Amino acid sequence: MCYWELMWCFTYKRQWKMAFFYADLLSKENTWSKATYIYMKAAYLSMFGPDDCSPFGDSEVELFRIVPSLKLKIAGKSLPTEKFAIRKARRYLSPNPIPLPVPPLEMMYIWNGYAVIGKCPNLTEGMLGTLIEAEEALARSSATELLADDQCVIKLLKGLCFKHLGKISEAEDHFNYIYLHEKKIKYDHYLIPNALLELAILYLDQDRREEAIKLLERAKQNYKNYSMETRTHFRIQAALHQAKSAPENGVHSGASAVS
């Protein structure tokens, strides 16, 4: 557990080599989910600069390619995080893989990391800077069939950073961008209900309850069979409960529990 927490601590600080080191330790010394640990090793390698060498000579592409072979079942069921990692890693099975733009920052969202760094403006601003750089690099690269998916991943994560920095209109624009480009998304369909959820939470924070409830009901009813669906549904239900509960002392009970 300490290795896992340290891995995320260094992720929040964008110290990719140290995060990689703890992901490597986990992959060698823990059996909970080899697929997740190897995925994270590859994810951190993808964030290294052009002059950085892999500490152990690992290949980012080769690590991603072995992730699907490491799938396991516990009590007959696959781990949701593992399934997410495997789906994301499959794009590397092609002879000419299309790199993921910010894989550790995307997985950080799955583990609620933006709510953690949101309490520290300097960490959030640093993360936003990394996302802006990734967005610019994506704009410079050749267009691929996964361009919309990658753009929307970055938009979701940037929106969360803007939210925690108090830039509400920018956050709203980023979450709306995903919903408006829904039909262009090829594989990462989890982005749409999560964007609606994050936008609804933003509205709850502003006491725009009716608008929030409409978005939450849309996210709940209109989207099925996407990555991390159970996690998203729990958050939707929690947000709906808060949105429909009576205000306390004239102020709505905040959305922090689902943010």
Indicate the DSSP class of residue 146.
T
Q: CA angle at residue 64 from 34 to 11, to 5 degrees?
A: 75
Low pLDDT (below 70) residues in the chain? 246-259
Angstrom CA distances, 77 to 1, 74, 229, 231, stand at 22, 5, 15, 16
What integer pLDDT is reported at residue 245 of this predicted model? 85
**This prediction's pTM:** 0.92
Q: What is the pLDDT of residues 155-167, one digit of tens each?
A: 999 999 999 999 9
Q: Where are the domains of the chain?
A: 1-100
What integer pLDDT is reported at residue 248 of this predicted model? 53
